Amino acid sequence: MKNLFVQFGNLTSRIFDFFYPPFGKYLKMNIRLYRYAMSGSVNVVFGWILFYVIYNFILDHKNLDLGFFTFSSHIASLAITSPIALFSGFILQKYVTFTESELRGKTQLIRYLIVFAINATINYAGLKLLVDYYGYDGTPSQMFMTIVCILFSYISQHFFTFKTINKKE
């Protein structure tokens, strides 16, 4: 299975790298940051498409009644898509962006989940503060918090989740 992920990562990297020259030349973006942005963008779009399919076709805008608890269709769709998008995001970051990390996959996954949880907390707290306390509109507040979370996530993934071990030679 790992070999399949490695092959997927190599192919995805080659596809992403084909479009890299304008970003590297004009935006002065290094290859790792570019791959991080591409992987994240692809994963976000994948999550949106998955949410759309589940919300509109599988649940058909109907609540999901589990007997002991009922989820509204949009929350059920989010609950179904989040673990899938979380897993696909991890695979993209591990096998496309941060390939040189020597940490064990299990360690990376645990750290990825920690960063995800911190990001969710930052996003939630930031929205509560901006919308409920300061009275800003929800959409620009979410856009601002997305930028904050992206910056935090990149730094965390680079220096914590997929940290490289510097060897002295």
Q: What is the pLDDT of residue 157?
A: 93
Higher-pLDDT residue of 60 and 138 is 60
Which H or E element spans position 72?
Answer: none
pLDDT at position 166 is 65
| Contacts for 23 with CB less than 8 Å, ≥ 6 apart | 29, 34
What confidence tier does 78 reach under pLDDT thresholds 50, 70, 90?
confident
Alpha helices (H) in 27-68, listed in sequence order:
31-53
pLDDT by residue (tens digit) across 91-123? Answer: 999 999 999 999 999 999 999 999 999 999 998
34 against 166, higher pLDDT: 34
Q: What is the pLDDT of residue 168?
A: 47
Q: What percent of the chain has pLDDT over 70?
A: 98
| Per-residue CA distances from 43 to 15, 25, 38, 92, 93 (Å) | 15, 25, 8, 8, 10
Query: Which of 140, 156, 122 minimizes the C-alpha distance to 36?
Result: 156
